Amino acid sequence: MGVGARCPRGSSARGPPHPADGGGRRRRGRTGRHHLSPERLRRRAHRIELPLRTRPLSPAIKWRRAMTSETFKPVIYLKENCPFCLKVRLFLLETGLASEVESRNFVPGTEQEETIRAELQSHLDKVSFPAAQLEPGRYIAESDDIIEFFAAKTGRDPAGMTVYRNYVDGVFAISMRLWKENMELKKAASAA
Closest CA to 13 of 44, 51, 41, 40: 44
Q: Which domain, by its residues, includes 104? A: 71-156
**pLDDT tops 80 at residue 20:** no
Residue 163 neighbours by CB under 8 Å, 6+ apart: 90, 93, 94
Residue 12 placed within a domain: no
pLDDT given at position 168: 93
If one counts the domains in the chain, the total is: 1
Residue 66 placed within a domain: no
> Taking the chain, what is the end-to-end CA distance rounded to the nearest angstrom?
108
> What DSSP line would sit under 69-102, residue for residue?
HSS---EEEEETT-HHHHHHHHHHHHHT-GGGSE
The mean pLDDT value of the chain amounts to 80
Residue 78 placed within a domain: yes
Residue 100 placed within a domain: yes
Label the pairing between strands 102-106 and 75-79: parallel
pTM above 0.85, yes or no: no
Q: What is the pLDDT of residues 22-63, one digit of tens each?
A: 555 555 555 555 566 667 666 665 555 555 555 666 666 666
Residue 19 placed within a domain: no
Confidence of residue 125 (pLDDT cuts 50, 70, 90): very high
Residue 131 placed within a domain: yes
